[in-house]
Chains A and B, each alone.
Chain A
Amino acid sequence: MAKPLLEFTDCGIYCETGRFYIDPWKPVDDAVITHAHADHAYWGHKSYLAHHLSKEVLYYRLGDINLQTIEYGETVTKNGVEICLFPAGHVIGSAQVRVSYKGEVWVVSGDYKTEDDGISTPFEPVRCHHFISECTFGMPVYQWKPQAEIFTDINNWWRNNKEQGIATVIAGYSLGKAQRILQHLDLSIGPVFTHGVIENTNEALRRNGVTLNPTTRITYETPKEEIRKGIILAPPSAIGTPWIRKFAPFSFGYCSGWMALRGAKRRRAADRGFVLSDHADWDGLVSAIDATGCEKVYLTHGYTASFARYLNEIGFDAREVHTLFGDDEDINAQDVDLKDTVTSEESTLSFGEGRGEAEEASL
């Protein structure tokens, strides 16, 4: 039997014919990057290929890398293998990677969501033979409400806090969630203040030509009374730190798909948990997989075992594969190494939705 076009190696998803990797986690010569989150875009590769809109964020995060960027739908050929990017709808600049060679088509989803968030280019299903999919929320208990409902709740909560004279802090990781929240806030309520990590990402995106709502970076000079009238966008890693405590009294809201479950919500001990995710929910995953018309599904991270079993029962040929992409099981333990002592501030990193998304917040 001929070798498959893409295979799962110790370094990441590999195309031997094309001699490139997709989202590799060990340094390689040639890397195609689905999106700029830390568990997908590692440092140390000799060359990078990604979407235009990931450009400035990748430079900001990884420094002076050898980066080529392309548009959605644009094809790059490596050793006869065609590579083409399609929107994944996960965050700004996120892409699915379509790899084809002699009529055989593979698609690597990276992370994706099927709902149009109004800021990332909406997800597009791509026909393929082999679909490599995430399934972070691959359990039927995860079903998202339309984001309009969630943002109504968020804005009402902010308005209410302002009336009570307390500050509003909302946490979301710095690439993706932060901008998604920012673009849907009701700015008639007040101004938006940002933590430095988020503002750095905002600036990178603005350099990339993305139009974002106005924000003010919080510095030592920013008057506290001003901040109290507005909303503070903070990365999850800032929660519980002295930086955030100086805005007290405040109400703290946390946006994540994990907030769908009461247990997880109570564990995070946020004042408000908003169920807002940049990953597909159960129905989203099933419909996305169905829309590819694929013969085989490979599940990289999330509830892979049970989701694979379910897909097999409804007629797909699905199996789990092992990768280092952030998955559900890591969520409560990211950045936790048995050898290291974790300080209380570091432990708050477990707020992210995926492993990498939490890590990036500490940059």
Chain B
Amino acid sequence: MKNFANLFLSLDETNKTNEKVRILKDYFNCVPDSDKMQMLALFTGRRPKRPINATLVRNWAIEMSNIPPWLFEESYHVVGDLAETMSLLMPESTGGSSKTLSEWVAEINEIATKTEEERKLWLTESWMMLDRQERFVFNKILTGSFRVGVSQNLVIKALSDVTGIEPATLTHRVMGSWMPETYSYTQLIEARGAADDISRPYPFFLAYPIQETSEKQKSAAELQDALGDAADWQAEWKWDGIRAQMIKREGKIFIWSRGEDLSTDKFPELHPFLNALPDGTVLDGEILSFANGRPLPFNVLQTRIGRKNLSKKILEESPVAVIAYDCLEYNGEDIRYKTQSERREILEQLQAVTEWPQIFNISTLIKFGSWEELEAIRGQSREMIAEGIMLKRKNATYQVGRRRGDWWKWKIDPLSVDAVMVYAQKGHGRRADLYTDYTFAVWDGDKLVPFAKAYSGLTDQEINKVDYFVKRNTLEKFGPVRTVKPELVFEIGFEGINKSTRHKSGIALRFPRILRWRHDKKKEEADTLETLKAFLEPSAPADNSTDV
């Protein structure tokens, strides 16, 4: 555990990529194979199931820290991280522990079956055995909140340096539903390793935004400069659903979402067509809610995401279908090396013979002669219920991860309104103890109605200024939330808007974010609820769900 705690600490202490890779390599080189796999699992989001309910962990930590519960809560708001708060508030440890990471994780997995008393005893004893840094990492694993500021790419890079295996191959081999208890380091580095698991998906190829990091759109002329001849490119609508990989191998089907969740059971509508595919087929596409052959806005799909049981009602109200846009495996052969056009041809052949063309759709290729023409077509995205346009180079292979060059997303400009900040709350992690989470309101007559929360979009300097303002202009405090004097105006951007019965404003926004601080506007000049409602699409049904 020491090694792992130190790994975490060292990674925290550097922003330099090379340094991070070096630290990761050092770790791989000094721990047993079982710990290597355990670390890989944790760093790729494969956490053990939470063995003890979070409230119990919290309460036992409060007991041990010997401070009043309210002060624990206050501390938590200052620290912005529960695992860290607990590790800081407990008394210094009394003894050392030489258990490895894998041994600790094994204990965490075992304790889940014990009685509450046994669990409490185990946990308090464990805490006292670990030093502060170990305790923090242990708490992170225990509370299922383990995240690390290192991309999977860096971990793969380090592992590739250590093993001499290509990063793309390793990325593929760490995909899927393996757990460190069942997938050994030897299997990982053996040449045949990847083929062992028939459920294993390929790493997704992700597009880069064409305007890169800027909010400013590219013009047709700029596209010509950056991408060259329009004829070399294939264009499709960019659908706003769940990116998914659908696998049919050895008579079994698997549906993976982009977050690497195995979601086969969540989309029963897709099973018949997938079962009918030839063995050794892998499709890439988007799952969307559909009605009358047309995709519905994302919020309709949202009503069934996260539901454990799909009731008949849900299935009727929000039926899904697929818009496929790529084929990665055909006849059991990995065809990612083929060109976009070749893969498209195979995909079209597969779709042509399906008996479920309503479910197995294929992404239409947009016909366009020039970038100017495509730019004009892009203007119709909202009517198409699309987020914009995808550009794919016709001779490109299917690559691993987010790569610049061959796949670009050309999104439409967000909708926007000017709104007044009315509430502020402290952030978490890097933004702990700073007011970074704001609620915005628009005018409804002479009242300000809150309609959206946004966390991002400001620079660190702007955040400092807003934080300074909040601390000096607080009207009321409700726990961690402060009511702020309405004064600051921001331009809020969003991708879509829907009716909502759960919000006071009667609307819900998709991806609200701060576009800029309108220093030039007074609060009286902010927009009205009417302006916002004018954006509502007449066909969109109300979002009545409770579990979003």
Which residues from chain A sit less than 8 Å from chain B, CB to CB?
A: 139-141, 143, 260-267, 269-273, 303, 306, 309-310, 313, 328-330, 332-333, 336, 338, 342, 344, 347, 350
Contact = CB atoms under 8 A, between A and B. Distances in A.
A306 B84 CA distance: 19
Contacts of B467: 332-333
B89 A333 contact: no
Contacts of A263: 79-81, 428-433
B432 A264 contact: yes
A336 B430 contact: no
Interface string B416-452: 0000000000001111111000000000000000000
Nearest to B461: A347
20 contacts: A140-B67, A140-B71, A140-B75, A141-B75, A141-B78, A143-B88, A261-B79, A261-B84, A262-B12, A263-B80, A263-B430, A266-B429, A270-B13, A309-B70, A309-B71, A310-B71, A313-B68, A329-B471, A330-B471, A336-B461
B78 A139 contact: yes
Given A141-B79, A141-B89, A310-B68, A266 B430 contact: yes
Give the residue among B12, B13, B65 with the most A Cβ atoms within 10 A.
B13
B213 interface: no
Given A140-B67, A140-B89, A333 B461 contact: no
B122 interface: no
B520 to A, nearest CB: 14
Contacts of B136: 262
A262 B78 contact: no
A342 to B, nearest CB: 6
Interface in B464-495: 464-465, 467-469, 471
Contacts of B71: 140, 306, 309-310
B464 A350 contact: yes
Contacts of B79: 141, 261-263
Contacts, number: 97
B74 interface: yes
Contact of B74 (A139, A270, A332): A139
Contacts of A271: 13-14
B85 interface: yes
B15 interface: yes
Contact of B84 (A262, A269, A309): A262
Given A139-B74, A141-B89, A313-B68, A342 B430 contact: no
B428 A336 contact: no
Interface of B is mostly: helix
A303 B13 CA distance: 27
Given A338-B465, A342-B465, A267 B430 contact: yes
A338 B430 contact: no
A333 B13 contact: no
B461 A261 contact: no
Contacts of B67: 140, 310
A186 B196 CA distance: 57
Give the residue among A261, A263, A273, A313 with the most B Cβ atoms within 10 A.
A263
Contact of B78 (A266, A303, A330, A344): A303
Given A139-B75, A141-B78, A143-B88, A347 B432 contact: no
Contacts of A266: 12, 149, 429-430
A250 to B, nearest CB: 12
Contacts of B433: 261, 263-264, 328, 332
A263 B77 CA distance: 12
Given A265-B12, A338-B468, 6 more contacts: A140-B88, A141-B85, A262-B79, A263-B432, A332-B468, A333-B465
Contacts of A306: 71, 74
A-B CB proximity, top 3 nearest: A263-B432, A333-B468, A141-B88
A271 B13 CA distance: 5
A267 B431 contact: yes
Given A264-B433, A272-B13, A336 B465 contact: yes
Given A140-B75, A333-B465, A350-B464, A262 B471 contact: no
Contacts of A310: 67-68, 71
B80 A273 contact: no
Nearest to A340: B465
A265 B465 CA distance: 19
Contacts of A333: 464-465, 467-468, 471
Given A140-B67, A141-B78, A338 B428 contact: no
B68 to A, nearest CB: 6
Contacts of A332: 433-434, 464, 467-468
Contacts of B461: 336, 342, 344, 347
A263 B432 CA distance: 6
A269 B13 CA distance: 8
Contacts of B469: 338
A27 B360 CA distance: 78
A273 B68 contact: no
Contacts of B81: 262-263
A272 B13 CA distance: 6
Nearest to B149: A266
Interface string B54-97: 00000000000101101100110011110011001100000000
A265 B464 CA distance: 16
A286 to B, nearest CB: 11
Nearest to B84: A262
